Structure 1
Amino acid sequence: MAEWDLEVFWQETMKQVRSELREQEFGVWFANLKYLSADENGIIIGVPSAFFRDQIRNRYQNMIVSKLSGLAGRNLTLNFEISPEKNIKQPVLRDDPPAVSGFSAEKPSQTAPPQPVPVVKPPKERHPNMRDDYTFEKYVIGENNDFAVNAAIAISRNPGTVYNPFLVYGGVGLGKTHLMQAIGNYIHENSENKIICVTSENFLNEYVELVQANKMKQFTNKFRYTDVLLIDDIQFLQDKPGCQDELTHTFNALLDAKKQLVFTCDRPVSELKKFSERLISRFELCLKVDLQPPRYEVRCAILKSTAKNQGVSIPNEIIDLIAKNVSSNVRDLIGALNTLIAFTRLMGVPITMEIAQQRLKDVFVAPRQANMSIENIQRVVADYFSLSPNDLKGKKKTKNIVFPRQLAMYIAREITDFSTTELGQSFGGRDHATVLYSIEKIKGQLLIDPTIDSTIESLKRLIKEFSAKI
């Protein structure tokens, strides 16, 4: 049988790719790709997971194939095989000379020596404190989280050496816990590192319990002698000075030992209240990444991925319906889909537009709550832009006021049932035509500036949180 050896072309292609990419980007995506074999049509590359395969295909395959084909002088294909690093085939040592790169050579007939049966390592048992479905493969990537995911992957590949410590922040239901546990699950599956994954509430409860039992040595031994520490929702520790002090000492001990620290929080570090300055200064050392609400395209991708994982086919028009009506966060989005799937399964009926509209009508109108008053919206938007509510209601037409005013009108129309006339009265006695103009102005800007969508979703979240406290 003919044997093809195109490894020299692969190695040269990787050199060229490396010279064109940032070192960090190359390290994240290419460091663990392995040349496996080749045939007359192309080469087969080993990748550590389906997630890496899909990312390489989407981001880099065209570039790689172009360079490979140029070096070989003919069109080549690039195929992938999912191979855990320990099982990736190594080059075979042989006595006969290797074939010239790119050309076939018949090997003389000979009796092959018996080969040892490869030992397949069984998959590890799941970590008791992490969900096994919280993986990178099941994390949908979009503009709202691309940087955060890339950093998380780099951390999982080299814990304690890059992006340490690491803090992910954002509103409720945006995937912070999923991303944190994806780091933990990858490290757990691919190394022998000791991992502790805990919520801040459980961290506090264990601290209080062992302080009362006079067993603090047990607590410090547990948390200061781990390889990876993942703590969810650190904002829960506000106004808990004793526990904050212990976390500060734990933080210092692990960082000095080059152990990985990962935190999640529902707000930026600058907005944490009743935290010690020492602990805040430690959090400021983190690489801090912000998860924003997903845009429409990403919401559609999340819905399709969730439906696929459940083995359900959802018509595109229903995906569109849910994605357009549930924009607050990923948790609400998946919850709406699960509600629909559960109903149709229980009733034994197909998923139709009529059923979707009927079953999800309460979900779609949920944000329009009575306590979301115009005053609350004005207060939150004004504060966000460092203005006063009176600025939004006043007559000034400077750019730094007009845009926030139009944005506040747009959001008020989106999340309340007030008419344009009522909105106009609340914004300084303006007529309904002015309100309509402001709304259309924001709609037009959304088409040309995608960052405005993220701003609107952030403001909606802040308004919802503010209104819930009243």
Structure 2
Amino acid sequence: MTAFEPSTISEDEADTGSAIWQRIKADLRAAHGEDIYTSWFERIEFEGIAGTVVVLSTPTPFIRHWTQNNYGPEILQRYRILDPSMTEVRFKVRGALRPKTTTQPGAAAPNRAGPVAQATPAPHRQIDAPAAAPAKLAGGLEGSPLETRYTFASLVEGPSNALAVAAAKKVATANPGDRIPYNPLFISAAVGLGKTHLLQAIANEVRIANPQRRVLYLTAEYFMYRFVHAIRSKNTLSFKDILRDIDVLIIDDLQFLNGTKVHEEFGHTLTTLVDSQRQVVIAADRAPNDLDGLEPRVRSRLGGGLLVELDVPDYGMRRAILEHRIAAQREIFDQLVFPEDVVDFVARSVTTNGRDLDGAVNRLVAHNQLTSTPIDLKMAETALRDLLKARETRRPKIEDIQRVTSQHFGVSRQDLISARRTRVIVRPRQIAMYLSKTLTPRSLPEIGRRFGNRDHTTVLHAVRKVEEMIDRDPQVAEDIETLKRLLDQ
């Protein structure tokens, strides 16, 4: 999940949902650009508040479906930063709520390049409350919203996530009092590889399989927000007691956890839960040893559990993901035609992650539904050109470089970041540092930190050393070219 910095609102505007929505629309415009804003956000309107649910309306079912699936979580997070009491954003088609307005022929088009008009704040319109409100723990602590569609049944399994899925299912179906073999369970993966889906699948499965188990899913940002709120309200003891009295604590995007006090409280909570045989599941975009700010004892505690990594899906898994997403679209658009050659083209061309595959399907369906253009290879090449370009210019991460280098030279990744200085370790380490400097935008200090907290001068020395070896040692030059090809696959 991404941290946002929405526009500030005045005290006079803060108590009106419509004013907050206008500010969020302005932030969405700035974040996504004019084309996306006018296509999806411009015609969304604030309808009212149903308890802790924000209700927004769209002019058509297609815009409702597209916005909810692609931008719903982002809109909710932006809304919660401005109004933390909100727990859900719900979209409705405006035709069912009010007369539809149309632009009269000859009317002047809106000035889309200008600032967003600030609507006159209107009081909340109360709407029927949702059928089911998010569950709360004793003491009123409410977790981050769960997507009901994120289940094990909707998760596509393959070689890249098999171990993580197996461990997650074991955790989710355990009974109270069972010995917990994977605690904490730490899931590491880059953006878009399914961390959040897997974590929310655990939470949803626990609530079905063992309703008596108390499960709490929190993003790291929401954990910080609740802890800071408890400090300000002088209610930290109650906050701690609630956290430490649950059976399954799930924290997503741990890399966004900031602040010394927050890190300390997380460490205390982790220790207490694990020692009392309560399950902890954590996800982040990198391994515990690579996370900033964690205390050594917390790293050690996380390392004592099971660490699993989600990898980039292979062709077969990408194809399965696409077929799953296309089937979901056909439930909405029953006349949808998605040719096999296009499925194959997308599966072979969009190789980054599952989220990009989702985006590819959504984009092709949008072109088809909005323009009545049939989905074919020509449309796919045009509609997905930015995703195809991203593939061509994709930069590897330091973790990728370390993994590929260690495999190529037959050493472990732990050796690369260790203090060992034998020749069999030093040369691969220097080559990995060189590739990190030349293939990634990371600074020398950042690269040094990723290689065992080394000084930036050590990295600079390694880069210069490898440059010299390339000129005089053909084998080194060949090794580096091989590594670059492996990283580009």
Do both proteins adopt the same fold according to a TM-score greater than 0.5, normalized to the shorter chain? yes
Q: State the AA in 1 paired with 2:438.
A: Q
Q: 1:395 to 1:281 in 2, by over 3 A?
A: same
For 2:280 and 2:394, the matched residues in 1 are separated by 41
Displacement of 1:367: 4.6
For 2:194 and 2:149, the matched residues in 1 are separated by 13
Partner of 2:216: helix, strand, or coil?
strand
Partner of 1:256: 275
Partner of 1:388: 463
- Does the Cα contact within 8 Å between 2:215 and 2:248 map onto a contact in 1? yes
For 2:308 and 2:344, the matched residues in 1 are separated by 29
Q: 1:396 to 1:325 in 2, by over 3 A?
A: farther
Corresponding position: 1:338 with 2:354: no
Q: 1:403 to 1:319 in 2, by over 3 A?
A: farther
Q: 1:270 to 1:220 in 2, by over 3 A?
A: same
Aligned counterparts, 1:166-245, within 5 A: 166-192=185-211, 193-238=213-258, 240-245=259-264
Partner of 1:143: 159
1:318 to 342, 359, 379: 342
Residues 55-89 of structure 1: per-residue CA shift (max 9 Å, x gap): xxxxxxxxxxxxxxxxxxxxxxxxxxxxxxxxxxx
Aligned counterparts, 1:22-421, within 5 A: 129-158=145-174, 161-192=180-211, 193-238=213-258, 240-311=259-330, 312-368=336-392, 378-380=438-440, 388=463, 391=466, 394-397=470-473, 402-408=478-484, 410=485
Residues 402-421 of structure 1: per-residue CA shift (max 9 Å, x gap): 3333332x4xxxxxxxxxxx
Q: 1:249 to 1:267 in 2, by over 3 A?
A: same
For 2:266 and 2:209, the matched residues in 1 are separated by 27
Residues 191-232 of structure 1: per-residue CA shift (max 9 Å, x gap): 121111010001011111111111102211221111111100
Question: What count of residue pairs does the alignment treat as equivalent?
Answer: 289
What is the TM-score when the length of structure 1 is the normalising length? 0.56
- Does the Cα contact within 8 Å between 2:351 and 2:391 map onto a contact in 1? no
For 1:184 and 1:334, the matched residues in 2 are separated by 23
Q: State the AA in 2 paired with 1:147.
A: L
What is the TM-score when the length of structure 2 is the normalising length? 0.54
- Does the Cα contact within 8 Å between 2:395 and 2:439 map onto a contact in 1? no
Displacement of 1:314: 2.2
Q: State the AA in 2 paired with 1:155.
A: V
Residues 420-445 of structure 1: per-residue CA shift (max 9 Å, x gap): xxxxxxxxxxxxxxxxxxxxxxxxxx
For 2:181 and 2:133, the matched residues in 1 are separated by 27
Q: State the AA in 2 paired with 1:242.
A: K
Q: State the AA in 2 paired with 1:207.
A: F
For 2:323 and 2:271, the matched residues in 1 are separated by 43
For 1:248 and 1:187, the matched residues in 2 are separated by 24
For 1:289 and 1:400, the matched residues in 2 are separated by 32
Displacement of 1:141: 1.2
For 1:297 and 1:187, the matched residues in 2 are separated by 29
Partner of 2:471: helix, strand, or coil?
coil
For 2:373 and 2:306, the matched residues in 1 are separated by 48
Q: State the AA in 1 paired with 2:247.
A: D
- Does the Cα contact within 8 Å between 1:378 and 1:392 map onto a contact in 2? no
Residues 45-64 of structure 1: per-residue CA shift (max 9 Å, x gap): xxxxxxxxxxxxxxxxxxxx
Residues 374-422 of structure 1: per-residue CA shift (max 9 Å, x gap): 98773549979996375267135575663333332x4xxxxxxxxxxxx
- Does the Cα contact within 8 Å between 2:350 and 2:391 map onto a contact in 1? no
For 2:291 and 2:477, the matched residues in 1 are separated by 28
Aligned counterparts, 1:429-448, within 5 A: none
For 2:360 and 2:464, the matched residues in 1 are separated by 35
Structure possessing the higher radius of gyration over alpha carbons: 1
Between the two proteins, what is the percent identity of the paired residues?
30
Partner of 1:58: none
Partner of 1:153: helix, strand, or coil?
helix
Partner of 1:163: helix, strand, or coil?
coil
Q: State the AA in 1 paired with 2:347.
A: A
Q: State the AA in 1 paired with 2:372.
A: G
Q: State the AA in 2 paired with 1:281.
A: S
Q: Where does structure 2 lack aligned partners over 5 or more consecutive residues?
A: 1-131, 136-143, 331-335, 397-433, 452-458
- Does the Cα contact within 8 Å between 1:307 and 1:313 map onto a contact in 2? no
- Does the Cα contact within 8 Å between 1:223 and 1:250 map onto a contact in 2? yes
Q: 1:207 to 1:363 in 2, by over 3 A?
A: same
Residues 294-324 of structure 1: per-residue CA shift (max 9 Å, x gap): 1122111111111112225522211121122
Partner of 2:266: helix, strand, or coil?
helix
Task: Kindly report the root-mean-square deviation, in angstroms, between the aligned alpha carbons of the 2 structures.
Answer: 3.2
Partner of 1:101: none
Partner of 1:366: helix, strand, or coil?
helix
For 1:257 and 1:370, the matched residues in 2 are separated by 44
Displacement of 1:350: 2.6
For 2:270 and 2:395, the matched residues in 1 are separated by 41
Partner of 2:308: helix, strand, or coil?
strand
Residues 314-369 of structure 1: per-residue CA shift (max 9 Å, x gap): 22211121122211111112111111112212223331222112211222113556
Q: State the AA in 2 paired with 1:225.
A: D
Q: Where does structure 1 lack aligned partners over 5 or more consecutive residues?
A: 1-123, 411-451, 458-470
- Does the Cα contact within 8 Å between 1:130 and 1:181 map onto a contact in 2? yes
- Does the Cα contact within 8 Å between 2:173 and 2:210 map onto a contact in 1? no
Deviates more, 1:391-400 or 1:273-282: 391-400
Partner of 1:464: none
- Does the Cα contact within 8 Å between 1:241 and 1:276 map onto a contact in 2? no
For 2:337 and 2:324, the matched residues in 1 are separated by 10
